[in-house]
Structures are given as C-alpha cells and as structure tokens.
C-alpha cells in the first residue's frame, strides 16, 4: 500500500529532492556527452605522440631487461616487474584507437608509420599479436630467473619487434 498523504514539509522536501535528482542527472548527461565528444575528436598529432610514447615505454622496459641480461647492471629484482609492464604495454595496444586512419602518413602529419599499417591491417594485427606472444614468453622466462633463457626470449621478442618495424615503420 502506497501512502500519499504527505505533510507540507514532506512534500516540499520531496519536491526539492526530485529537483536535485533531475539536476544531477542533467549534469551527468552533459558531462558524459562532452567527455565522449572530446574523446571522439582526438587530434591526429596527439594520437601519433601517444603512440610514440607507447613505443618508447616498450623500448625502456626492453632496455632494463637487456641491461641485466648483458650484465651491465645486476638488479635482478627489476627484471620481472619490467617484463610484466612490457607484456601489459604491448598487449594493451588497441590498433583501432592507437592507429586510427586519420593518423596514416600524409603531408601534414609527421609519423614514421608506413601506410602498410592501414593497407594490410590483418598482417599488422598478426605482427602485433606475435609480439604479444613473444612478450608473454619473455615474462614466463623471467620467472625462471635463468639469464640464458631470459636472453633467448628477449632476442625472440626483439626479432618480432624488428620484423614489425621492417614492414610497418620507416627506417630511422
């Protein structure tokens, strides 16, 4: 049974509460709309910078692991965390968002990415997936703490990265 006999104070309170709820819903809608509008209207140059930063991060994690494998530094406690970060970084690359069509090479956009990324999307995805697999293999190898095994897995990852760069990136 629903009671509808509210006092004047209760009615006023309910009316104010409903008014606040409506305002909050409106604010949330506006915030959601504008946030998504800005997200959809990404600047191609910013996406290219973003993707370069991802590649730099990958390179940094590889360098830390390689420095340990080569014996330049011996901070073995850094190997597993960097292998995890490397795997997470590579495996989280979303091709559609990190390589949208408006970031393909053109006269107005400075990028080392080759047009083959957009002309051969399946091959690009396969190359990326191969690197994800090799990064996972490296992560597994780091858990053994066997430097020879880690070095071998790191070399395999390097080859997969190099194969992708050879096909899909301008030479330095």
> Are 124 and 92 members of one domain?
yes
Q: What is the pLDDT of residue 148?
A: 97
Q: Which of 73-77, 149-153, 157-161 has the lowest mean pLDDT?
A: 73-77
- Cα dihedral 169, 125, 48, 81 sign: negative
**Tokens encoding 150:** 């880690």
Phi, psi of 144 (to 5 degrees): -80, -20
Print the domain residue range for 52: 42-168
> Quick one: pLDDT band at residue 156, thresholds 50, 70, 90?
very high
pLDDT of residue 28: 63
* Phi, psi torsion values for 111, nearest 5 degrees: -150, 150
Task: Quote the longest CA-to-CA distance of the chain.
Answer: 81
Residue 130 corresponds to which tokens in the numbers above?
A: 């191969």
pTM of the entire predicted model: 0.74
- 171, two tokens: 């030479």
Query: Considering the chain, what is the average pLDDT of its residues?
Result: 88
pLDDT for residue 34 is more than 60: no
Confidence of residue 54 (pLDDT cuts 50, 70, 90): very high
- Judge whether residue 113 has pLDDT over 60: yes
In-domain check, residue 20: yes
CB-based contacts of 79: which residues, under 8 Å, 6+ apart?
64, 65, 68, 142, 145, 150
Q: How many domains is the chain partitioned into structurally?
A: 2
Q: Same domain for 23 and 82?
A: no
**Can you give the CATH number for the domain in which 85 is found?**
1.20.120.10
Asked whether the predicted pLDDT for residue 71 surpasses 60, the reply is yes
Domain match, 18 and 59 both: no
> What are the C-alpha distances in Å from 74 to residues 29, 63, 66, 93, 146?
53, 13, 10, 30, 13
CA 98 to chain centre: 8
Domain membership of residue 157 (yes or no) is: yes
**What three-state secondary structure class fits 100?**
coil
Asked if the structure places residue 164 within a domain, the reply is: yes
Together in a domain, 54 and 17? no
55 and 128 both lie in a single domain: yes
Rounded to an integer, the average pLDDT of 66-73 is 96
- The answer to whether 58 and 89 have CB atoms below 8 angstroms apart is yes
């Amino acid at each position: 049974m629903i009671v509808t006999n509210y006092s004047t104070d209760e009615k006023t309170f309910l009316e104010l509460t409903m008014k606040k709820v409506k305002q909050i819903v409106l604010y949330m809608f506006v915030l959601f709309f504008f946030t998504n509008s800005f997200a959809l209207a990404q600047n191609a140059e910013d996406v290219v910078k973003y993707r370069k930063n991802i590649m730099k991060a990958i390179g940094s994690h590889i360098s830390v692991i390689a420095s340990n494998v080569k014996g330049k530094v011996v901070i073995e406690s850094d190997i597993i965390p960097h292998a995890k970060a490397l795997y997470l970084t590579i495996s989280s690359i979303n091709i559609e968002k990190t390589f949208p069509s408006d970031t393909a090479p053109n006269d107005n956009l400075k990028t080392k990415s080759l047009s083959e990324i957009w002309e051969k999307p399946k091959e690009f995805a396969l190359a990326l997936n191969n690197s994800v697999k090799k990064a996972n293999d490296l992560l597994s190898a780091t858990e053994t703490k066997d430097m020879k095994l880690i070095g071998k897995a790191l070399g395999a990852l390097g080859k997969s990265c190099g194969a992708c760069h050879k096909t899909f990136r301008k030479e330095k």
